Amino acid sequence: MSKLSDTTKSFRKYVIGFLVFAIIVILIQNIYHYAQNGDFFGDQDPEGYAFVTEGFGPITYPEISSLSIQEGSKPSFSISGQFSKSPTSVNVYKVNKPRESLGNSKRAQEVAGRLYFTSSNYELEDNVLTWRSNNKQILQYNKLTNNMTYSNEGINIAELRSEKPEFVDSEAIDKIINEYMTVFNSSTAQFSEEEITNYLLSDGNKYKTTTIAENADFIRTDFALQKEVVSLRASELEENTTGAEAVQGNIYLDNPKQGSLHIIVANSSSTQIQVDSNDKSNSKIREYGYINIDISEEKSVYSLRTYEEAWQDVQEGRGYLKYLIKQGTDPLADYTPLNVKRFIVDPDKSRLGLYAPGSWTGYLYPIYVFEGIAELSDGSTADFVFYARAIN
């Protein structure tokens, strides 16, 4: 009887041991599975953001220029509030290498015809097609980059000022802008709803800004291209269980106050656009410029740093000062380094975006954009913008 009892006890031990071993194996397999998918304990993502894949491998940011501040400045840094919670992942997009595409030159000739140039009468040099008119209008198109610019130096400033309206009709300006975006084949691009508007006075070959819209000779409007910078998991798109939202972000150039597209229109009492009419002066538009960014559909998802981590980079000298203008001065004037006592970031104006270098490097780079007020040593203040890397 004792021998049978010992055998039973041994069998139970083996069974229990096997069950424990099986449970441990299952746990290890599940831990590995969820760890790979970023959904286990500390790595769990309850917000529903897209899983990190890092399909492009390590991303090296290009050299990004930074404005200097006055020598001897030792600014401190602070925040007027609290940053919002950062998403957990961010998109990196590939950018196609500039190349001539079939049909692009033909479309540029169509634009030239709509602007009253002789479409077939152009100069070609270094892949740039140039049309010129007798009344100082110039249209240029780069076959490789697909960039297009237009300028009209034939507008008579004295006549323009004699036709100043009593007030700026924003609806008429929007109409003009929309018409010309169609003329230049740029109306189908995805732009931010937030426009940057500057009221300009003509100062010889330069512009200076005015805060009084009615006094302006011209009105410049900049539009930033936009792309989804933060995406959601497929399951979240289907079920929407967490309430997380995808984030649309602007594509930023080296100057954060300028967009990929800008249009400068005359501030005159004539509010009707003259495109496709008998008026061959294009008298409503002074300048148009479009920087094309050929964004690939190929993207990958990377782990996103937090606002706090990126702002710490700025404080430790690893951010990029892109804008610093003393309040009350002309932002179009030549930059002068300022003596800064303190940078105070506004968390409500801080956001995610994508940085597009001035030359092709293959990617759009996720960045944090920090805006705020700088306190200067003379007691005045300045507006500032910093860029900071959003992924490691």
Question: Would you state the pLDDT for residue 245?
Answer: 83
Residues 127 and 200 both lie in one domain: yes
Contacts of residue 256, defined as CB under 8 A and 6 or more positions apart, other chains included, come to 322, 323, 369, 385, 387
The answer to whether position 237 is within a domain reads no
Q: Token digits for 348?
A: 């409500």
The domain containing residue 67 runs over which residues?
47-97+295-392
Per-residue DSSP letter, 117: S
Residues 379 and 351 both lie in one domain: yes
Residues 199 and 136 both lie in one domain: yes
The answer to whether position 300 is within a domain reads yes
Residues 150 and 275 both lie in one domain: yes
Task: Identify the three-state secondary structure at position 1.
Answer: coil
**In angstroms, what CA-CA distances link 377 with 327, 338, 381?**
14, 9, 9
The answer to whether position 186 is within a domain reads yes
Residues 63 and 131 both lie in one domain: no
Tens digits of pLDDT across the chain (392 residues): 444 455 555 555 555 665 556 566 555 555 444 444 444 333 444 578 999 999 999 999 999 999 999 999 999 999 999 999 999 999 999 999 999 888 889 999 999 998 889 999 999 999 999 999 988 999 999 999 999 999 998 888 888 888 888 888 888 888 888 888 988 988 788 999 889 999 999 987 799 999 999 999 999 999 999 999 999 987 766 666 666 789 999 999 999 999 999 999 999 876 444 444 445 556 788 999 999 999 998 999 999 999 999 999 999 999 999 999 999 999 999 999 999 999 999 999 999 999 999 999 999 999 999 999 999 999 999 999 999 999 99
The answer to whether position 236 is within a domain reads no
Question: Would you state the pLDDT for residue 172?
Answer: 83
| CB count in 10 Å sphere of residue 36 | 11
Residues 107 and 60 both lie in one domain: no
Question: Would you state the pLDDT for residue 144?
Answer: 92
Residues 155 and 288 both lie in one domain: yes
The answer to whether position 245 is within a domain reads no
Task: Identify the three-state secondary structure at position 141.
Answer: strand
Residues 217 and 356 both lie in one domain: no
The answer to whether position 250 is within a domain reads no
Residues 79 and 182 both lie in one domain: no
Q: Using H for helix, E for strand and C for coil, what is the string for 289-319?
A: EECCCCEEEEEEEEECCCHHHHHHHHHCCCC
Q: Token digits for 152?
A: 């009209």
The answer to whether position 328 is within a domain reads yes
Contacts of residue 317, defined as CB under 8 A and 6 or more positions apart, other chains included, come to none
Residues 179 and 324 both lie in one domain: no
Number of domains in the chain: 3
Residues 13 and 69 both lie in one domain: no
User: Based on the number of CB atoms within 10 Å of its own CB, is 275 exposed (0-12), middle (13-18) or buried (19 or more)?
Assistant: middle
The answer to whether position 378 is within a domain reads yes
Question: Would you state the pLDDT for residue 200?
Answer: 96
**Cα(first)–Cα(last) distance of the chain, in Å?**
69
Q: Give the CA diameter of the chain.
A: 120
CB 385 within 8 A of CB 335: no
Residues 378 and 285 both lie in one domain: no
**How far is Cα 241 from Cα 199, in angstroms, rounded to an integer?**
46
- DSSP-derived secondary structure for 183-205: HTT-TTS-B-S--EEEEEEEETT
Question: Would you state the pLDDT for residue 167?
Answer: 84
CB 138 within 8 A of CB 131: yes
CB 321 within 8 A of CB 386: yes
